[in-house]
Every structure is written in structure tokens, then in C-alpha cells.
Structure 1
């Protein structure tokens, strides 16, 4: 099984891109061909057997590039398995309990008939872009709350599911 998987993401400060890279690496370790792309730059999903789409969370919203990707590729994504993730809580809550998707991510999950949505902790550190982000860091509420092993374990679960199902058949 040598399925191709796209891991697309929307990010502002790079944390979600790093999560996407960890997911793609775990998929590769499981024997799949995977690549990461910014959601805004991903033009054609038809060459992939599956897609993982992630978006950073800002003020209760999923990153606009992830939302636009879901809408732009709705029909093509309906023909292949899709998983969604969000990154953003700046505390340990994402590792302690299941955090439901924000409304825009929930709409994307419904639109794409996503297999699963998961929320991972986020990262916000010195040098972050955006006034609010800089204020959060200045107030001492930033940090790195990503659990990379949890992210890898989630990706390994995706790899198992893809490997069991085989490549998507074109319709």
C-alpha cells in the first residue's frame, strides 16, 4: 500500500505547519507517501488518496485558509477520506479532554463528511504576529502546549485506517 496523503494546513505563526509536518512524517514512517502544503497553495487534491486538513484557532475561529480549502475542494474531498485537526488552546486542556471543533471546523467536518476531528494544544511564543497574540505572550500566557507524541499517535491511527481501506477509487 503506497497511498498518497496530502496534509494541508492554515497557520499564522507556524505552529500548525509544524504539526502538519509531524503528521506527514508519521504517515511516511507508516509507509504512506505524504506531503504538506499550505491550504492556500494546495490547488488540486485529486492526485491524493486521502487528505488531512488542519487549521489554527484564533478567537474561536478556524484559520480562514483551512475553511476556504474545505469549500474550494468540497466535491473532490467527498471522493476520498478526510481527517481534520485544530491547534490552538494555550493550556493543557487539549491533552486532558476532547475539545469539540469550533463552529467553522464543525461545518467543514459536516461538509466533507470527515472521519474525525481532533484539537491539539497550540504554541504562541515571543515574536508572534498579530496584536492580540503579542499581548497574550506579553501577559505570560503563551508557551508551547503541543503534545507531539499524541499528534504522532493520531497520525499512526490514520495510517492504519488508510492502509486497511486501500486507495480511494475515482468516481
Structure 2
């Protein structure tokens, strides 16, 4: 059975939830899946495939996710990448939202990429983010789309290349 790491970085929990949805779909496909917060620095040894994602901040992945990729990217080689972004709420801005994966895709070969909309729950974000979203007139909303996330996970090719010990 192919072993897959679904690694994520989150601030308010939505990316962890999306990672769980992806993991459930991969398990249904017969993969042995481990879900891990990249802040915990999971060891990539022993995994045959990788699905890595992050919430976005300042149009890129969170610092801890990029640090993990810098430290382990060579060993990972190839991964499916996803982000959660407020930009992804607008279907006409999907290319912009996918651009938030740029820094990550420079550290590993991206076998697939996605940008998903997340959830804005004011009680789960810091003061400055709440202030920014208030200025942008963003109201609390849940944009997590499990069917779209599952569909993306169903289509993933988790064949690994550039594998190094």
C-alpha cells in the first residue's frame, strides 16, 4: 500500500479541515495516509507520495510550510500542492489564487495544484486580520467546498520522482 503524507500549515483551522477531507478521499482510494501539521516537522522518510498545503498570508504560503519545503524539498521531489485563499472565493480569480503556490512550486515539482476558498470565522483570526477583513468589507463566511476538494483529491497522481533517501 502506498504511504502518503498530507502536510499542512494553518492559522484558523480551515487548512487542517481541508487536509482531512483530502486524506479521507485518498484513504478511499486505498492509500495509507498520515495527516500532519508542518509546524511539527514531520519526517518525509518512508512516504511514497505527498500532498502539501497551506493557508496564505501576503499572497504566499505560511512561513512554516515554506521552511519545511526548504528543509525537505529535495527528499520530497514531487508533490501535489494546494492553498486556502480568500482570493479563491471568486472563480474569475482562480489563476491569481493558484499563483499563491509559486514559492512552494519553486521548492518541489508540483504534480498538481489547487486553490480552495476557506472559512472566515472572526473568533479564529487575530486582531489585525479581522481589521483588514473589515476594511475589505469581508463578512464571516464558510466557503469550504468538500465536493470540489474530494474531486481534486480523486484525480491526484501521487507517483513520485526525484526520490532521494
TM-score, scaled to structure 1? 0.83
Which residue number in structure 1 is paired with residue 40 of structure 2? 41
The equivalent position to 1:106 in structure 2, one of 98, 102, 110, is 102
CA deviation after TM superposition for structure 1 residue 43, in Å: 3.0
Give structure 2 stretches of 5+ with no counterpart.
Answer: none
1:111 alignment partner, SS class: coil
CA distance in 2, matches of 1:152, 1:29: 10
Deviations 1:85-141 (A, max 9, x none): 000216631587443322xx3132122111122110011113123113323269552
Q: Name the CA shift for 1:73/1:94 in 2 (closer, same or farther; >3 Å).
A: farther
Give structure 1 stretches of 5+ with no counterpart.
Answer: none
The number of equivalent residue pairs is: 162
The equivalent position to 2:145 in structure 1, one of 144, 147, 158, is 147
Note if 1:88 corresponds to 2:85. yes
TM-score, scaled to structure 2? 0.85
CA RMSD of aligned residues (A): 2.5
CA deviation after TM superposition for structure 1 residue 26, in Å: 0.5
1:141 alignment partner, SS class: coil
CA distance in 2, matches of 1:58, 1:16: 13
- Matched-pair contact (CA < 8 Å) for 1:5–1:33: yes
- Matched-pair contact (CA < 8 Å) for 1:95–1:121: no
Which residue number in structure 1 is paired with residue 9 of structure 2? 10
Deviations 1:128-168 (A, max 9, x none): 2311332326955231112111101111111xx23xx5899
CA distance in 2, matches of 1:114, 1:166: 11
1:114 alignment partner, SS class: strand
5 Å-filtered alignment, 1:122-137, equals: 122-135=118-131, 136=133
